[in-house]
Amino acid sequence: MEEIRMLLVDDEDDFRTTLANRLKLRKIDIMDAGSGNEAIELIRQKPFDVAVIDVKMPGIDGIETLKQIKQIKPAIEIIMLTGHASIESGMEAMKLGAYDYVMKPCDIDELLVKTGEAYQHKLLKEKEK
Partner 1 sequence: MTNEKELHGYYAGLRSKFMVIIFFIAFIPLMLLGGTTYYYYSTTVKEKIRNELKLITKNRKDTIDLFLNDRANCLSVLAYTHSFDFLKKKENLLNSFQLSKRVCSAFQDMGIINSDGEQVAYIGPYHLTGKQYSTADWFKAVMKKDVYISDVFLGFRKVPHFIIAVKRMENGKPWILRVTIDINRINHFMSTALLGKGGSDAYILSLEGIYQISGADTDRILTKSDFKMPSVFRGIKEKEKHYGGKTLLCAKAWLKNNDWLMVIEQDLQYELGPVVHVKNTVLLIFIISSFIIVISTIFITRRVFAKLEKMGLEKLQLREQLVRSDRLAAIGKLASGIAHEINNPMAVISEKAGWIGDLLTEEDVKNSPNYDELIKSTQDIKKHVQRGKKVISRLMGFARKEDIAHKNVDINSVLDETHDFMNKKAMFQNIALMKEFQPDLPSIVTDGAQLQQVFINIVNNAIDAINKDGVIRLITKAKDGGVLVSIVDTGPGMPKETQTKIFDPFFTTKPVGKGTGLGLSTSYGIVEKLGGQLTVESEVDKGTTFHIALPPTCIKESEV
Residues that bind partner 1 (CB under 8 A): 12, 14-15, 18-19, 21-22, 25, 56, 83-88, 103-106, 108
Give, to the nearest 10 degrees, the angle between helix 36-45 and helix 62-72. Answer: 20
Give, to the nearest 10 degrees, the angle between helix 108-128 and helix 13-25. Answer: 70
Residue among 63, 52, 54, 50 nearest 11 (CA): 54
Task: Give 72 or 108: the residue with its C-beta nearer to partner 1.
Answer: 108
Task: Give 3 or 13: the residue with its C-beta nearer to partner 1.
Answer: 13
Task: Give 46 or 84: the residue with its C-beta nearer to partner 1.
Answer: 84
Q: How far is the CB of 104 from partner 1 (least distance, A)?
A: 4
Q: How far is the CB of 16 from partner 1 (least distance, A)?
A: 9
Q: How far is the CB of 113 from partner 1 (least distance, A)?
A: 15
Dihedral (CA of 46, 129, 96, 24) sign: negative
Q: Are 96 and 75 in contact (CB under 8 A)?
A: no
